[in-house]
Structure 1
Amino acid sequence: MNYDLTLLKQACEEYKISLTSEQEQQFIQYYELLTEWNKVMNLTGITEFEEVLVKHFADSLSIAKGLDMEKIHTCIDVGTGAGFPGIPLKIAFPHLKVTLLDSLNKRLNFLNEVISRLGLEEIETVHGRAEDGARRAEHREQYDLSVSRAVSRLASLCEYCMPYVKVGGVFVSYKAEKASEELTEAKKAISVLGGKLEKEVTFQLCRTDMERDLIVIKKVKNTPKKYPRKAGTPTKEPIL
């Protein structure tokens, strides 16, 4: 089947990302595996090729509007689900060493198949809840970048994601729309967990009228050892 990658190429041009023909082929393979596995397990409600190009692939790569990804070496995708944004980032920026964290083994089985079929190297999957993974020495404050496209409120996401980031690194939260209210609400959490808001980047996604927001939080000091709290607490009782 012939796939038209024009929308992804246009997005990459906007983000100043250059894709080789091999990388373009990897995105196509990823799409094929996503739709194939989606028939037997719930990975995504978005399956049309052009929609996946825009709402999953281009959206994942939009972090380049807020960060110089060439300066990032290690990245953890917290609650990666079907691999967004972690796998598109690994395809587009092969130098990245990527960890995909998720609490469902069946999703990790899918991701391991993608990694194998696409021939990706220096990328691993880790099974566990965000709160538990951040207590393990091999993951706590070990990453230049922690990312999440999860729908949780920012105050909760900060507690899930910031313990993974080393001092000097960043946590980037992908939001579907302007998150000013969430930012105000999360002000205390950001500070308590060792962060400082660096910038908020708002834009229209890839020739659509969909507004996107990148919240870039710099890690300026170590996260206190008591965080993250036990599983479920950051959502039920966010730091406010």
Structure 2
Amino acid sequence: MVQDNIVQVSLLEAWTLLSMNSIVLDKAQIDLLERYHRELVHWNNSVNLVSRKDVDFLIERHLIHSLMLLRYVEFPHKARVLDLGTGGGLPGLPIKIARQDLRVTLVDSIAKKIKIVDMMARHTGLKDLDAVRMRVEEMGTISKYKSAFNVIVSRAVAPLKDLAHWSSGVRAPGAVLAVLKGGNLTDEINEFKTAFPNVSVIEHDINVHGLPWFQQENKKVVECRFS
């Protein structure tokens, strides 16, 4: 672990860092991220939305981390995006704030988490953003969700193979599964390729200029493209 090497940054500093890394936000978007950040810190005291050891580093380890999906993966204009196992709204809420054309659904099976996430989502005032308490396997049996999502995102919720199986009913033709992971993924990716031999897998090393923590911790985006 390199806890001592990470530099705690403010949202103003994050604004500059994101611009340096090809994610350009305006003042209104930064204000929304700031409100979300405050609410996440507040509610994390009563509901475990993110790891408590990361609370002082939410901007770096959670907000910026989530937004790196937009740097490495193509999200088509007005794509339907599903955040599988959203927890505290990550990565889906920051992605929606940054790309307001996207139609984002946040899903989690834990009622107390999704209740808070739904409140935080409504506080953004953004359209085409909803939070659903459900298992993703169940969503595929409901007409409005069946084969509906162009991009499915997640943050280390489960192995790639499981995420792909669980989301099979909600993936649109040509969908992308984009997952934030870390460490050596050789075995996990090989297991995925055995189960899904016709799916293209790209492993992106996250390199955030100005924040070496992502490289030090071997953080990655894994992009699985279904035909």
Contiguous gaps of at least 5 residues in structure 2: 1-8
Give the 3-state SS of the residue equivalent to 2:162 in structure 1: helix
Q: Which moved more, 1:134-143 or 1:76-85?
A: 134-143
Q: Distance in 2 between matches of 1:25 and 1:6?
A: 10
Amino acid of the residue matched to residue 201 of structure 1? H
- Asked if the contact 1:139–1:164 (Cα under 8 Å) also holds between the matched residues in 2, the reply is yes
Give the equivalent residue in structure 1 for 2:206: 203
Shift of 1:72: 5.5
What TM-score do the two structures reach when normalised by structure 2?
0.86
Given candidates 201, 218, 221, the residue that maps to 1:214 is 221
What TM-score do the two structures reach when normalised by structure 1?
0.82
Q: Distance in 1 between matches of 2:26 and 2:139?
A: 34
Contiguous gaps of at least 5 residues in structure 1: 221-240
Establish whether residue 166 from structure 1 lines up as the match of residue 178 from structure 2. Answer: no
Q: Relative to 1, partners in 2 of residues 1:15 and 1:189: Cα closer, same or farther, differing over 3 Å?
A: farther
Q: Relative to 1, partners in 2 of residues 1:70 and 1:11: Cα closer, same or farther, differing over 3 Å?
A: farther
Give the equivalent residue in structure 1 for 2:156: 150
Please give the residue correspondences for 1:19-58 in structure 2 after superposition, counting only pairs within 5 Å.
19-45=25-51, 46-48=54-56, 51-58=57-64
Give the equivalent residue in structure 2 for 1:183: 189
Q: Distance in 1 between matches of 2:163 and 2:222?
A: 11
Deviations 1:91-136 (A, max 9, x none): 0001110001110121111112112222121101111112212222
Q: Distance in 1 between matches of 2:17 and 2:143?
A: 37
Give the equivalent residue in structure 1 for 2:103: 97
Shift of 1:29: 0.5
Give the 3-state SS of the residue equivalent to 1:80 in structure 2: coil
Stretches of 4+ aligned residues off by more than 4 angstroms:
none
Q: Relative to 1, partners in 2 of residues 1:182 and 1:172: Cα closer, same or farther, differing over 3 Å?
A: same
Amino acid of the residue matched to residue 211 of structure 1? N
